[in-house]
Amino acid sequence: MKSVLIIGLGRFGTHLIHKFYDLGDEVMAVDINEAKVQEAMPFATSAKIGDCTKLDTLKTLGIKNFDLCFVCIGENFQSSLEITSLLHDMGAAKVISKANTEIHAKFLLKNGADEVTYPERDSALKLATRYSVDNIFDYIELTKDTAIYEIPILESWIGKSIIKIDARKKYHINILAIKNNNNIQALPGAEYIFRTDDHVIVLGHNADVEKLLKKMD
Ligand code: ATP
């Protein structure tokens, strides 16, 4: 169980709170706006109204006790930077700040953010990648040229085992899981025999996965 501080209860901060609540983590929610704090209360372990650009407000929160501190303020660039920097100076274990623009992200990283999340850009990249090619069902970017993909199998794989198709050598991909409808078999053994309608969840370089996808055209 993690102890999480979420500052800023806009749409993004609220999604975070709901997810951490579902995961059973301990969440403190803070916003300058009372109504936002009221809305978050049922999903938070504790909630506070306060202006987090003020050192006094942050001091009352016990910053060092949190495993993660999220700053979820996009519109007010100045406040987001100030809060990120204060959290860092106060010894927060990990500060993750939300950015609305590339410049915002750069400033946050230079001013104390350990990590920056840029949700609008990230989900746009993911959607564009997924829909620009017909056969990508899901996609998680790991580095600029490596990702985890959910893709269909080649027709020629049906009835053959993983070892027989020699995925690593022939296609330079690692098969992490097999998905059929909504059933997932993680880390399938080499003897697994592919079935009609199987999807594979693979880790690979983008160029290698693209080559494999071209064989499906
Ligand atoms: P969204 O996640 O909805 O896209 P956003 O990126 O547009 O949000 P804002 O609406 O600017 O971000 O701010 C998010 C929340 O942060 C708001 O609920 C706002 O009241 C709160 N907030 C803004 N400044 C402060 C502050 N100094 N201290 C605490 N909370 C603040």
Q: Given phi > 0 = left and psi -120 to 50 = alpha, else beta, which region is 56?
A: alpha
Query: b/e for 65-82, b at 16 or more Cβ within 10 A?
Result: ebebbbbbbbeebebbbb
Mean pLDDT of the chain: 94
Does the beta carbon of 34 sit less than 6 angstroms from any atom of ligand 1?
no
Burial of 98: CB neighbours in 10 Å, binned 0-12, 13-18, 19+: buried
- Choosing from 75, 100, 104 the residue with most ligand 1 atoms within 8 A of its CB, the one to mutate for a pocket test is 75
Q: From the CB of residue 85, how many other CB atoms can be counted at a distance below 10 Å?
A: 20
Residue 217 has pLDDT above 80, yes or no: no
Mean local confidence (pLDDT), 125-142: 86
Name the pLDDT band for 10 (thresholds 50, 70, 90).
Answer: very high
Average confidence (pLDDT) over 155-172: 94
Q: Is the pLDDT of residue 6 over 80?
A: yes
Domains 3-131 and 135-214 share a fold: no
Burial class (CB in 10 A: 0-12, 13-18, 19+), 119: middle
Q: Which atom of ligand 1 is nearest to the CA of 33?
A: 20
Would the pLDDT of 188 be above 90?
yes
Does residue 216 carry a pLDDT above 90?
no
What atom in ligand 1 is closest to the CA of residue 51? 28
Tell me the per-residue pLDDT of 49-62, one tens digit each, with 9 for 90 and over. 999 999 999 999 99
* Residue whose tokens read 């850009």: 121
Looking at domain 135-214, its CATH architecture is 2-Layer Sandwich (3.30)
User: Which CATH code for domain 3-131?
Assistant: 3.40.50.720
Atom of ligand 1 nearest to the CA of 83: 27
| Domain parsing of the chain, residue ranges | 3-131, 135-214
